[in-house]
Structure 1
Amino acid sequence: MTDTIGSAAPRRFTALDVFRGITIFLMILVNTAGPGAPAYAELVHAKWFGFTLADAIFPSFLFAMGNAMSFAMRKPLPARPYLARLFRRGATIFVLGFLMYWFPFVAHSEAGWEPIPFALTRVPGVLQRIALCYIAAGVLVRWLSVRQILVACATLLLGYWAMLVFLSAPGMAYDKFGTIGTHLDLWLLGPGHLYKKDGGFDPEGLLGTLPAIVNVLAGYLAGRAVQRDADLSRTVRVMALIGVALVVAGLAWSPWFPIAKKLWTGSYVLLTTGIDCIALAGVIQLVEVTGFRRGTRFFVILGRNPLAIYLFSELFVTAINLIPVGPDHGLYGWVGIEIFQRIAPGALGSLACALAYTMLCWAVGWWMDRKGLVLKA
């Protein structure tokens, strides 16, 4: 999640920061929906098969990470220090993700505050998947040519599909609890270390990380294309056309391999990668080609410090909800229900609460940017 692996001071690519900032903004908005009423359907992940705006956010961040990786590798390090940095940063992000889920390390019960045991702490997660994809993609792009990376992408997507179909019990390839991915997670980690809100299924499970690597590799290839083609306008057009082709391919594959974010299916990878190519092409056209910069700093502030802002957004909402306000609510829950639901009942109030919290996180990012503080793994 950092912009440098080996280069001392690479030139900032404003469009990438804007793209990544938009992703972080939407990620916080979705993750902190105001309580008291259901959020708008597009801001809620699909329950299983299907696709919403919320389902596009995580793969977009992986795509942006791969794009940044292509800029960072313009002056590559020798193999040994490169791998040392790659694995150290990946391990740091993984540990931060694990500690984020363990936080606040204590829970309130009838007997008072008690430590949350390690045995009940989730191991997979968003940052953990980012870390694993970061390491795997970093190794692949270091030693593979563009053609070999494309072969690796096809192998990961088709290999994952084959594992689900042929290693799951008959008829259970796409079943939440019958798929081989769930069985692998239960065997390696046990139910105590998996997502508690999905009945034993973890949407960031280990096997689903394999196709997610493709989102990073696609972002890397897009970044290489931007750097190597002198005609940026032509690159934008080609990137947008490739994006359209990938969206069509994902939709065409979906009858046989359904679009499912929680399974991270191959059709979902093609669809989200296509959307990201189109979106990034649009941002590059607007920011880099036409030179439009008005308002871009708002997203640049988020895009330059994504790890710190994301961690703050997750930890702070957990912390303030530990403050009891009445018998049934923590502070965030009370604010969402007693203030925002009174002002705008229903989904609009939920969105307004989430937007207010997202702006608080943006303010923290603005303060860090003013102070020159950047959290790098």
Structure 2
Amino acid sequence: MTSAIPAKQRLLSLDFFRGFTVASMILVNDPGDWGHIYEPLEHAKWNGCTFTDLIFPSFLFMVGISIVYAMESKKTDPANHSKIIWHALRRMVTLILISWGIQFFYHPSLEHIHTLRFPGVLQRIAVVYFICTILYLKTSANTRKWIFALALIGYWVLMCFVPVPDGHPANLEPETNFGAWVDRAVFGTNHLWSQSKTWDPEGLLGTIPALGTCLFGIFIGTLIKKTDTDNQTKTAWLFTYGVIAIILGLVWGLFFPINKSLWTSSYVLYAGGISTLGLTLSYWFMDVQGYKKGVWPFLVFGMNAITGFILAGLVPGIINLFKVNYQGKEMGAAGYFYKTAIQPFFSPNTASVIDAFLWVLLIWILMYPLYAKKIIIKV
């Protein structure tokens, strides 16, 4: 489904920030060589947080803000709630099916059903969006604050103090923590992350603190949307909340480490604080000061983020369907281009990141006509 852009209702800084995040996602997901990557463009090995680890929570943070902007005027009339919830349910199912469809594109066999990865990035976004839509419609702002606190504290208690039912004590190790046990019990080992099969970085239990990330976005979106507060005051409060969240995340991280794969409560606060500061900076320059020069290239991604996500998942595979002989071996066209046109002329890490930038540029070119014609593709 497509629609024209309602210019007056859009938050320019949100579109810019979303576009920057989509571009960053493509950049870190498509290096020329997975063995040669600059450290900020890799996930932390386990505990800790890199630039790459901030991308996914930024999406969920912005989902929360988008919920406010899309539903604030409609939520006042309870008669609209059922329609909104059904729409959110349909969207959740659609996003999950899209993610599974991308998997089938790379493994087009009915036998793949037995090894289909059930959790995933789009799946988590979809489920969190649906639940937070209901929370936004059916609960007050104060109730959502309590839910936010209970989600983060409850998850901390569960992960750090409750023994794992398989006999392990409470722990935060990849394969033996409570969340990993839940994933194996619910999904089975065949339907988890392919590189592990014993745990999943987008596992079921991690949905609880991920709700906190989206609720964080709802808090920030509600503040930006307030009509009884001037822009300078809003900006000051946004900056303050961002700094406080980062500090709280770092302090909590001393005994519940910042960890993207576990989506720890400290990670929610830390990443949410950084997202808030990034959005605040964009908001001040673009929506308050009216600075728009040089912004539009990111709007190409920002106004059709889901389309960008899908294209980024499919285009490399489509190009690699075309096979080329290289040194006696058959390889995909994209891999051949990297091996012959980029890798020989640069250092390994530089060649790898140049290839990633070219993927960003290619997806951008494919999406530009949508931006030029002011078309938004919705799911």
Fold agreement, TM-score > 0.5: yes
1:155-183 per-residue CA deviation (whole Å, 9 max, x = no partner) reads: 11111112212042554520111011111
2:306, 2:68 → 1: CA distance? 19
The root-mean-square deviation of aligned C-alpha atoms, in Å, is 2.0
Residue 37 of structure 1: how far off its partner (Å): 4.6
1:26, 1:205 → 2: CA distance? 23
**Contact kept? 1:3, 1:68, Cα under 8 Å:** no
**Contact kept? 1:40, 1:347, Cα under 8 Å:** yes
**Contact kept? 1:247, 1:274, Cα under 8 Å:** yes
1:14-39 per-residue CA deviation (whole Å, 9 max, x = no partner) reads: 11100111110101111111127511
Distance 1:358 1:9, change over 3 A: closer
1:35-78 per-residue CA deviation (whole Å, 9 max, x = no partner) reads: 27511100001121111000000000111111111111132162
1:97 is matched with which residue?
99
2:284, 2:197 → 1: CA distance? 44
1:226, 1:331 → 2: CA distance? 46
1:36, 1:24 → 2: CA distance? 20
2:248 is matched with which residue?
249
1:322, 1:196 → 2: CA distance? 22
**Contact kept? 1:102, 1:116, Cα under 8 Å:** no
Provide the secondary structure at the position in 1 that maps to 2:73: coil
2:337 is matched with which residue?
335
Which residue among 93, 113, 117 is the counterpart of 2:112? Answer: 117
* Runs of 5+ consecutive residues of structure 1 not aligned to the other structure: 107-113
Residue 346 of structure 1: how far off its partner (Å): 1.5
1:354, 1:292 → 2: CA distance? 29
Are 1:359 and 2:354 matched, yes or no?
no
1:67 is matched with which residue?
65
> Which segment drifts farther, 235-244 or 36-45?
36-45
**Contact kept? 1:232, 1:289, Cα under 8 Å:** yes
1:257, 1:101 → 2: CA distance? 33
Are 1:309 and 2:308 matched, yes or no?
yes
1:41, 1:198 → 2: CA distance? 22
* Runs of 5+ consecutive residues of structure 2 not aligned to the other structure: none
Residue 124 of structure 1: how far off its partner (Å): 0.6
1:190 is matched with which residue?
188
Distance 1:372 1:27, change over 3 A: same
**Contact kept? 1:98, 1:128, Cα under 8 Å:** no
1:283 is matched with which residue?
282
Provide the secondary structure at the position in 2 that maps to 1:122: coil
Are 1:370 and 2:365 matched, yes or no?
no
**Contact kept? 1:124, 1:202, Cα under 8 Å:** yes
1:53, 1:308 → 2: CA distance? 23
Distance 1:101 1:36, change over 3 A: closer
Which residue among 30, 33, 37 is the counterpart of 2:31? Answer: 33
> How many residues are aligned here?
366
2:315, 2:163 → 1: CA distance? 41
Superposed structure 1 runs of 4+ greater than 4 Å apart: 169-172
2:257, 2:320 → 1: CA distance? 37
1:211-230 per-residue CA deviation (whole Å, 9 max, x = no partner) reads: 01111111111111111143
Residue 328 of structure 1: how far off its partner (Å): 5.8
2:351, 2:92 → 1: CA distance? 38
Which residue among 109, 113, 122 is the counterpart of 1:127? Answer: 122
Percent identity of the aligned residues? Answer: 31
Which residue among 348, 351, 354 is the counterpart of 2:350? Answer: 348
Residue 115 of structure 1: how far off its partner (Å): 5.0
2:299 is matched with which residue?
300
1:110 is matched with which residue?
none
1:259, 1:325 → 2: CA distance? 43
2:111, 2:323 → 1: CA distance? 19
1:186, 1:102 → 2: CA distance? 22
2:368, 2:314 → 1: CA distance? 18
Provide the secondary structure at the position in 1 that maps to 2:9: coil
Residue 331 of structure 1: how far off its partner (Å): 2.2
2:8, 2:291 → 1: CA distance? 22
Residue 334 of structure 1: how far off its partner (Å): 2.2
Name the amino acid aligned to 2:372. R
Residue 374 of structure 1: how far off its partner (Å): 2.4
**Contact kept? 1:239, 1:278, Cα under 8 Å:** yes
**Contact kept? 2:159, 2:171, Cα under 8 Å:** yes
Residue 116 of structure 1: how far off its partner (Å): 4.5
**Contact kept? 2:3, 2:377, Cα under 8 Å:** no
1:291, 1:12 → 2: CA distance? 14
Which residue among 166, 173, 176 is the counterpart of 2:174? Answer: 176
Q: TM-score, normalised by structure 1?
A: 0.92
Name the amino acid aligned to 1:88. R
